[in-house]
Amino acid sequence: MDERPLDLALLRTFSPLDGLKKENLHALARKTQIRELDSGRLLFKEGDTDQRSYFLVSGTVELRADDRVVATVRAGTPEARTALAPGLPRRYSARAVGDLRYVMFDSDQLDVLLTWDQTGQYEVAELRRDGLDTSGDWMTTLLQTKAFHRIPPANIQAIFMRMQRVNYRAGDVVIKQGTEGDYFYVVVAGKCVVTRETPLNKEGIRLAELGPGDSFGEEALIAEAKRNATVIMSSDGTVMRLGKHDFQTLLNEPLLQWVDYAKAKKIVEDGGKWLDVRLPSEFQNFRIEGAINIPLYFIRLKLNTLDKNTPYVVCCDTGRRSSAGAYILSERGYDAYVLQGGLAATEAVKSRIG
C-alpha cells in the first residue's frame, strides 16, 4: 500500500470526485491511500453489497458475470473515470489483469460530501471569520460520520450556519458537571479532557481526550438532565457550539429512530438486541429477558463491547435516557433504535419483565 499522501490532481481525474470543493477533496485525500492488488485476484465479487466505490489508478480490470468476461476497463481511459461497476448488489465480479493500483471510498460518505457541496449556498470560508483556519477538516470529519448520513442536507447546512465559534485557553472549563445543558459542542482546534467526579474521586476520573472533529455535550440536551461530566481544555483551542433548540430540531430529531414495542420485538427476533441504559439497581429490579445492561454514564466507555453489525433497541423507563444512549450509538455508526415511551408505557413489555 502506498503511504504517500494522495495527489489532489489524481483524484480530480475521477468523477464525481472532480465535483468536490477543494477543502473536502483535501480532507478526503488525507484519509485515503492507494491500494495494490495482485494479478488474478478479485477486487469485488458479483452479488456483493458492500457500500464502497472503487477507482482504478493503474492497471486493467476484467468485469465478469457468470464466469464470462463482459467488459475490460483500463486505467486512464474514459471508462475508468467513474467508479467500477456501480450499483448494488454488484452485477459483476472485478478481476485484476496484471498487478493494479486503486483507491476506495465509502459510498455513503462520498454521497454526503457531494450533497453538502452541491447545496450551492454555503461555503467553508464563511466559518473562517476572525482568522480561523480550519481547512474544513473538522466539518469533513463530522460529515463522514454515519450520524450525518441520516440528516437532510438542508439541516446540515443550517447546523453549520448556526454554530457559534468560541476560543478557549488551556485550563478553561467548557462545561461543568452538574450544570444545566445549553449547547452541543464540536472541537475545531486544540484538545480537551473529559472527566467525571464520583463520591470516591472528587478530582474526577479521566474518561477521554477529544480533538478536532470530536463532539460532546449532547446527553444533557437529549435527556434534559444536568451535565454528567466536566470538559476542560488541555491546550489553547477553539470549539463551535450549537444551541439547545437548534440541536434538538436540526440534529437530534432526524437522527433518532423511534419504534413501538411490536417493531422493537421484530428487530430483536431478526437478530437485534435489547440494550437497557438504566442503572444496575433498576435493571435488577425488572428487565426484559435477554437485555444487555450498560448504564448511560458508561456507554461511551463500553462501545467497544458492542457489535456494529447488530441492531440495538435502546430502552429505559421513559425513553429519555434511552434516546440519549441511542444518539451516542447512532453518532458512532451503530444501528440504534429507541423504544417509544420506554418500559413504563409499554404494557406488552411489562408482562414479560420480572
Alpha-carbon distance of 291 to 280, in angstroms, equals: 12
The band of 349, judged by pLDDT with boundaries at 50, 70 and 90, is very low
The band of 146, judged by pLDDT with boundaries at 50, 70 and 90, is low
Cβ atoms 206, 134 nearer than 8 A:
no
Active-site entry in 124, 316, 324, 328: 316
DSSP state for residue 252 in the 8-state scheme: I
Going by their DSSP bridges, the two strands 35-37 and 93-106 should be labelled as: antiparallel
Cβ atoms 308, 325 nearer than 8 A:
no
What does the pLDDT look like over 191-216, one tens digit per residue? 999 998 877 777 778 888 998 888 88
Residue 201 has a CB neighbour count (10 Å cut-off) of: 11
Q: Judge whether residue 113 has pLDDT over 80.
A: no
The band of 345, judged by pLDDT with boundaries at 50, 70 and 90, is low
What does the pLDDT look like over 221-256, one tens digit per residue? 887 778 888 999 999 999 989 999 988 888 877 778
Give the model's pLDDT for residue 221. 85
Q: In the structure grid, which three cell numbers stand for residue 104, read together?
A: 476506495
Give the model's pLDDT for residue 218. 86
Share of the chain above pLDDT 70, in %: 86
Alpha-carbon distance of 1 to 32, in angstroms, equals: 11
Q: What is the mean pLDDT of the chain?
A: 83
Share of the chain above pLDDT 90, in %: 38
Q: What is the mean pLDDT of residues 46-62?
A: 92
Q: For residue 235, which phi and psi values (nearest 5 degrees)?
A: -150, 170
Q: What is the set of domains in the chain, with CATH numbers? A: 8-106 (2.60.120.10), 119-252 (2.60.120.10), 256-350 (3.40.250.10)
Residue 178 Rama label (left phi>0; alpha psi -120 to 50; beta) = left
Can 315 be counted among the known catalytic residues? no
Give the model's pLDDT for residue 270. 95
The band of 15, judged by pLDDT with boundaries at 50, 70 and 90, is confident
What does the pLDDT look like over 160-188, one tens digit per residue? 888 888 999 999 999 999 898 899 998 98
C-alpha of 313 from chain center: 18
Q: Does the predicted TM-score (pTM) go above 0.85?
A: no
